[in-house]
Amino acid sequence: MIKIIFEKSKKIQNYIIPLTKAGYTVNINRNLDKAIKNILKSDQIEGGEVKKFSVFNNNRLENIFIVSLPEKIDNNSFFLELGHKVMKLIDKNGIDSIFLFPIEGRNNVKSFYKTELFLEGMLFACYNFDVYKSKRDERKELSVYLEDKVKLKNYFNSEKIGEINALYKSIFLARDLINMPPNDLTPQRFCEIATNELNKNLKIKIFDEFNIKELGMNLLYTVGKGSENRPRFLVIEYLGDESTNKKYAFVGKGVTFDSGGTNLKPTGSIETMKSDMSGAANMLALAKVVSESGLKLNATFYIPLAENTIGQTAYRPGDIVKSYSGKTVEILNTDAEGRLILADAISFAVKDKPDFIIDMATLTGACVVALGSDIAGCFSNNDNIYEEVYRYFRENGEHIVRLPLHKNYRERLKSKNADLQNISKKRTEAGAIMGALFLENFVEDTPWIHFDIAGTAFMEDNHPVYGEGGSGFGIRSLYRFLKSKEIM
């Protein structure tokens, strides 16, 4: 992790200097200032580039990482990417302490926020999943020195630094869970990890397969009954302010491995299905950081967990199952299982009458086809709550696009033999929309947002912010959105 230190003397040997179109204005000392100006005259650096230069100053070698900022930056993800890029370069050079100058100004709160995003990009680059390797990397803590200026110290105060550390410990937990192999991360194991990781100020309930069946959560039970690793339903309740009746609900899809069931996934699609519990991992991480930060609000996290495999007791196309809500669902495809377990969990959450519900799920391959791995799909039945959440995703440099809950498509989910069917009658059209419309049947009148993170949850290629594997996408934005709901 990163340790923040405020320093007056600037006796560090490694400097990170972000430069704007205004040029060099940092003023470290006479020798280094002259060397940097000479570098800038002789070496043209393009916007978004990071270059390392080594110069002698007072008979010692000092490293200068010049970070060139383009004239126009249209998204805050740029600062995350830049921080990630710098961290990789620092790591490559075996550096464990750097002096970082704020981005675009030294006494400006707006520039401090950009610097915070830059630091967060560095933190994303610090993550490494090597738990299953016989020889593990020993990463040292990186010390980041900042100027000992009053406004900067007020911004990066101990509370802020503690919050950032808590946030990234939670994000790293989510990434570890997403990257864990499915033979280790079963529904039961997920619950055990949650119990070990969460604070005692959280109320944790774990429903086993017998409880699930007794409750009437038959969709969740049905998806998970084909595996010897039976389903679980994890409910985490955080009461941060008992003086208010306001409460918020979060639901995360937890399919710890998705074979597709009887509708078996083909080679090319099945290899990364350990990541089909990313929504659950993200919600567990969110619960962890909310509790550790002591937010003054009330939130409950509902995590349905199941393994969708083939077995003698596995469900089949043609089965009809009664959901927790009472609605019956005809199964036409066993690979559309995520919406089934979410439907029961959402119905369970609705009964507690929350002010809003937010769910997160690796729901549809169609969303990946439409938006790729940089952008998550977002659906909502409430414009106000969507606009509020969108602002936090935009500010935090995480990309979402709102897709429509197109009312004309609702007819396509009506079954001849039951209330609903779990896939559309037109199977090649609007897959992400149909998944969201299915879930809409269970939210009733509750304000609701559904995130389809099928593309953003797990990176098969090296992403400029998240790297490879589990990403933890959306945890930062949802945490800061939730923090804005604190009762002051």
Active site residues: 265, 339
Handedness of CA 163, 168, 169, 171 (dihedral sign): positive
**Angle value at C-alpha 482, between 251 and 474, nearest 5 degrees:** 60
Helix (H, G, I), strand (E, B) or coil at 62: strand
Which residues, other chains included, contact 58 with Cβ-Cβ below 8 Å and sequence gap of 6+?
A: 31
254-258 vs 142-147, strand pairing mode: unpaired
Decide: 300 and 182 in contact? Cβ < 8 Å.
Answer: no
Contact 451/359 with Cβ under 8 angstroms? yes
DSSP of 274-340, one letter per residue?
A: GGGGHHHHHHHHHHHHHHHHT-SSEEEEEEEEEEE---TT---TT-EEE-TTS-EEE-S-TT--HHH
CA distance 161 to 116: 10
Do residues 159 and 148 lie in contact, with contact meaning Cβ atoms separated by under 8 Å? no
3-state helix, strand, coil in the chain (%, to 5): 40, 25, 40
Longest dimension (CA), the chain: 84
What is the full DSSP assignment across 438-467?
A: HHHHHHTTS-EEEEE-TTTSEEEEEETTTE
Task: Return d(Cα 358, Cα 70) in angstroms, integer.
Answer: 36
Residues 6+ apart with CB under 8 A from 419: 327, 328, 329
Phi, psi of 339 (to 5 degrees): -65, -25
Handedness of CA 185, 190, 194, 196 (dihedral sign): negative
* Torsion of Cα atoms, 261 then 173 then 155 then 200, to 10°: 110
Rounded Cα distance between 327 and 316, Å, is 19
Sign of the four-CA dihedral 101, 104, 110, 114: negative
